[in-house]
Amino acid sequence: MRPFSVSLLRHITAPHTLTAPLVTKTRCLHRGIFAASSSSIQSPPPGHSRCAPSRSVSTGFSEHQVQDLCGPELRLLNKLYDGLVGGQRASLAECITLVETQHPRKKELAQVLLQRVLAYRKEQESQNGGKPVAFRVGLSGPPGAGKSSFIEVVGKMLTARGHKVSVLAVDPSSCTTGGSLLGDKTRMTELSRDMNAFIRPSPASGTLGGVTRTTNEAIVLCEGAGYDIVLVETVGVGQSEFAVADMVDMFVLLIPPAGGDELQGIKRGIIERADLVVVTKSDGDLVVPARRIQAEYTSALKLLRRQSKSWNPKVMRASSQTNEGIPEAWAVMQSYQDAMLASGELQRRRQAQHKVWMWSLIQENVLLHFSNHPGVRGALPQLEEKVTKGAISPGLAADLLLKTFLSS
């Protein structure tokens, strides 16, 4: 993977202009850049140049940003941006596909698009008195906790109240094949047909905490498309849920009535990050165990240090089947949002999250460059063999590989 375009990176935050100059650069992609089946740059049709000059293209990108963009690229970015801010779900889906790609050139285009969406969102927040225009809620829990059912019931209730709800559902990827089922839409049939809702399943691809590296960017795109409630459903993997907690305003833990005692909750390392714990499936014969689990987790929360000065985590019961406790759970989420906004803690939390996510991406990209380094790739098989035979320690092998990486 080649480095990010220096020209795009240097000028990506330059002020906006209304008209782009004559674009004559030939480094571009063909119109088929967003075709899902294309893994490389497509060839242009016979008789057409790969990048025809574009004269006075109307755009909202800065003059410097478009210096490396050809006419077709610029028109596609403008089309995606206009459709996104216009609330078109198809354009939002295309934009998320663009930021999820691993193609080097498409990743550059995605960053240009994201910068414009960020500027648009910042303008909206300034008009809102500096307060966020959307509420981000992360939901996690063990498999079978009823996360998808809970999200569908809450989502339908919110859209009926006039909200626009987006759901970013992260599905686990197979360790053997690397594939994902991406079946959350099939479990949210009613919500998926709602025109005020948008559901986007994404593969976890082995990332820590069940959150893809582009989930944060997908949240920004959803907010730019006018969705004021963003729900992020993650893979319930135990001790890695801090990943989603570092990109949302509120972290909700969903646990089934048979989820073990409060000690199990503390051991998993999740409950200490939860702003709200919801005991699901609290209906029928499970009401009594649900009440017991609620009492146990309430006691467990008292033993943990408070994360916020403005909020005490709460434990509630709810049933997606009978809708009991669903409106009350959303009322608690709204109370949390109001308290955090009034104290200014929500804004400070988002600022801290941006820094955390930046370092997360830096670590990921450094590891990628390390793995692709020619010297490392050459020395790796021999050192791996020595480690497996016990000839050298894993620590020494790591030091030798790092020295190889840093010496060239």
Domain map (residue ranges) of the chain:
66-126, 132-343, 356-407
Q: Which pLDDT value is given to residue 258? A: 74
Rounded distance between C-alpha atoms, residue 359 and residue 5, angstroms = 20
Q: Are 293 and 255 in contact (CB under 8 A)?
A: yes
Torsion angle (degrees, nearest 10) of CA 3, 224, 216, 235: -140
At 385, which helix (H) or strand (E)?
A: helix 374-389
Would 66-126 and 132-343 be classified into the same CATH topology?
no
Can you give the pLDDT of all 408 residues of the chain as single tens digits? 444 443 444 444 444 433 333 333 334 443 333 333 333 334 344 444 444 444 333 344 544 444 577 788 889 999 999 999 999 999 999 999 998 887 888 888 998 999 999 999 999 999 988 889 999 999 988 878 888 899 999 999 999 999 999 999 876 544 343 444 455 556 688 888 899 999 988 765 545 444 566 888 899 999 999 999 999 988 665 444 567 778 899 999 998 887 555 555 555 567 788 899 999 999 988 999 999 989 988 888 888 778 888 899 999 999 999 999 999 999 999 999 999 999 999 999 998 988 888 888 888 889 889 999 999 999 999 999 999 999 999 999 999 999 999 987
Q: For the beta carbon of residue 390, count every other beta carbon within 10 angstroms.
A: 7
- For 132-343, CATH number out of 3.40.50.300, 3.90.79.10, 3.30.360.10, 3.40.50.920 equals 3.40.50.300
Helix (H) or strand (E) run with residue 279 in it: strand 276-279
Give the pLDDT score at 303.
80
Rounded Cα–Cα distance for residues 224 and 118 (Å): 8
Structure confidence at residue 144 (pLDDT): 81
| CATH dotted code for 66-126 | 1.20.5.170
Residue with tokens 């017991």: 292
pLDDT of 184: 56
Token pair 């509120």 in the structure block, residue: 250
